[in-house]
Amino acid sequence: MKVLVINCGSSSLKYQLFNMENQSVLAKGIVERIGLEGGMLKHQPADKAKVEISENIPNHRVAVKMMLDALTDKNHGVIGDMSEISAVGHRVVHGAEKFSGSVKITDEVMDVLKECISIAPLHNPPNIIGIEAARELLPDVPMVGVFDTAFHQTMPEYAYIYGVPYEMYKKYSIRRYGFHGTSHRYVSMRAAKFLNKPVEDLKMVTLHLGNGSSITAVKNGKSVDNSMGFTPLEGIVMGTRCGSIDPAIVAFIMEKEGITAEKVNDYLNKKCGVLGISGVSSDFRDIEEAAGKGNSRAKLALEVFAYQAKKYIGSYAAAMNGLDAIVFTGGIGENSISIRKMICDEMDYFGIKIDETKNNVRGKEADISADGSKTRILVIPTNEELMIALDTVSLI
Ligand code: ADP
């Protein structure tokens, strides 16, 4: 069975085609700059050379068509025709309280997704456009929606209610939702397998550290808290997002800089984080390089990031009354040896001791804890696309 996984953003569409017999990737790619100048498809078949096609891509329907053409092309394609695609799995950012698991997409589900736009105006519209384009071009293929928020729907009410009047929750659905759920679910399952223990017996903190970063308390296989909130802006400081700040700062900046609510939202999402602190870049490789050359603001940005991550581990250990494992994933978690060390250093009070030699690893599953570390420290590369494909198979 072949399953196509689609992750549609406002101007890009990422895809992977899986052969579910052996969970291998037949081809993957990205359509970039949809609706902008300089549209481009980058298509990588598993056993052939990468192909890049530049052309104007006016909308998502054209992007989906380009992807399907690439997959079925007689030179660089990997399937004979579209009928070989048995199902499509779509990543959807926000399922609000409507979806606590993945669902088969129907007209009714599409209506509910559209209702969720009001609380996820930045993220859900492109996901919906992608689903609509795929349904139009593959009308007979079953499709499944997999939500970033779904895994976190097990959070207890006291973890998701904010200190604002309860009416705000009832009226506008203002509460913590948590994000990156597909990644946290995948790595917590893999970590349990790695440790050869049932996930139901484990208390874990999973750290998805990438351009966006979120940290989850996973107790007995269920998410009980996540550092992201009503939107993916809350939590630890990120590439360009400010993370948790005193909410009074928002009104203060608006007043001092004379900017609107929309502008300040954009500012907090795109101009802050380690980019804003360092003044160097949002990319941790650049920041680490600058810090290595003595740039003090770059060094400070790394320290702020690691310190905030450390505090989440401590608070989630308290929330779960114990901690068996911490799991690093995402571009930074999987690859940054120095950030993992900074986060885990001086945590022996919690039984966390990193082994510097074992920590010398990138991008593969590994146990990097020192002998005698009560809490195991794992690196588990995430694979959200595979998780989406697996959910898709189980639902159709
Ligand atoms: P996204 O959230 O967009 O999926 P990723 O999970 O790919 O992002 O993470 C991107 C981040 O990972 C970037 O900040 C990048 O600098 C960082 N990263 C990737 N490789 C390394 C590395 N070898 N060392 C340090 N940071 C890395």
What is the model's pLDDT at position 40? 96
Contacts of 163 (CB under 8 A, 6+ apart): none
Q: Which residues have a catalytic role annotated? A: 148
Q: Is the CB of 332 under 6 A from ligand 1?
A: yes
Task: Give distance in angstroms: CA of 330 to centre of ligand 1.
Answer: 7
Render 197-221 in DSSP notation, one character per residue. Answer: S-GGG-EEEEEEESSSEEEEEEETT
Residue positions counted in the chain = 396
Q: Is the CB of 285 under 6 A from ligand 1?
A: yes
Instruction: Calculate Rg over the CA atoms of the chain.
Output: 21
Residues 134-171 have pLDDT tens digits of 999 999 999 999 999 999 999 999 999 999 999 999 99
Contacts of 134 (CB under 8 A, 6+ apart): 6, 64, 88, 90, 143
Counting ligand 1 atoms within 8 A of each CB, the residue from 10, 275, 332 with the most, and so the one to mutate, is 332
What is the model's pLDDT at position 299? 98
Counting ligand 1 atoms within 8 A of each CB, the residue from 285, 288, 341 with the most, and so the one to mutate, is 285
What is the model's pLDDT at position 77? 96
Residues 73-113 have pLDDT tens digits of 999 999 999 999 999 999 999 999 999 999 999 999 999 99
The percent of residues above 70 in pLDDT, for the chain, comes to 100
What is the model's pLDDT at position 25? 98
Least confident of 113-127, 255-269, 298-312: 113-127
Q: Is the CB of 336 under 6 A from ligand 1?
A: yes
How much is the average pLDDT of 209-227?
Answer: 97
Query: CA-to-CA distance for 158 and 179, rounded, in angstroms?
Result: 18
On the CB side of 320, CA atoms within 13 Å amount to: 29
For the CA of 213, the nearest atom of ligand 1: 2
Query: CA-to-CA distance for 141 and 139, rounded, in angstroms?
Result: 6
Nearest CA to ligand 1 atom 21: 335
Residues 347-359 have pLDDT tens digits of 999 999 999 999 9
For the CA of 287, the nearest atom of ligand 1: 16
Tokens encoding 56: 């104007």
Nearest CA to ligand 1 atom 25: 336
Counting ligand 1 atoms within 8 A of each CB, the residue from 277, 336, 342, 361 with the most, and so the one to mutate, is 336
Nearest CA to ligand 1 atom 7: 331
Answer for the pair 170, 79: CB distance below 8 angstroms, yes or no. Answer: no
User: Given pLDDT bands bounded at 50, 70 and 90, which one contains residue 122?
Assistant: confident
* pTM, to two decimals: 0.95
Residue 165 CA: distances (Å) to CA of 175, 226, 230, 251, 289 = 11, 21, 15, 19, 45
The percent of residues above 90 in pLDDT, for the chain, comes to 95
Structural domains in the chain plus CATH codes: 2-147 (3.30.420.40), 198-379 (3.30.420.40)
